[in-house]
Amino acid sequence: MYICLMYSNELIKGTLKTIVLSLLAKHGRMYGYEITQHVKEATDGKIQLTEGALYPLLHRLEAEGMLLTEKVNIGKRVRKYYSLTDVGNETSGVLAKEFKDFSETMNQLLNNFLLNPSYHG
């Protein structure tokens, strides 16, 4: 139920925060629906954030002081834009770097397995 159709929950659970923070770091302020659509388009639909995963996370990041909100009236309803605070900005850099590093390490590891099939035991 977490995010998507293509990848397992376990795999993606830990990266949701990284995705949202990086996206906001790149685009400045965004609202919830915009974030889901953006992720969907940018990943060719391979990752689809559900509301059930996104909004709880946004609220939590706000409570932790990583996000700021800004309300804009659109006719009868309110649209809430999320943007990074200084702390959020810093964290997004750290998380993105960490993930890149992790994925490189995984690549290296998996390549190693593929080149040396005996590792399969």
Other CB atoms within 10 A of residue 43 CB: 15
111 binds another protein (CB under 8 A): no
Provide CB contacts within 8 A for 19, sequence distance 6+.
39, 47, 49
In contact, 67 and 88? CB cutoff 8 Å: yes
* Span from 74-82, 84-92, 94-102, 108-116 in contact with another protein (CB under 8 A): 74-82
**Could you say which of 13, 80, 97, 100 contacts another protein (CB under 8 A)?**
80
Q: Taking Cα atoms as reference points, which of 81, 77, 90 lies closest to residue 21?
A: 90
* Span from 4-12, 20-28, 73-81, 84-92 in contact with another protein (CB under 8 A): 73-81
83 binds another protein (CB under 8 A): no
5 binds another protein (CB under 8 A): no
CB of 73 vs another protein, minimal distance in Å:
11
The type of residue at 45 is G
The residue (of 76 and 120) whose beta carbon lies closer to another protein is 76
In contact, 47 and 7? CB cutoff 8 Å: yes
* Span from 21-29, 78-86, 87-95, 111-119 in contact with another protein (CB under 8 A): 78-86
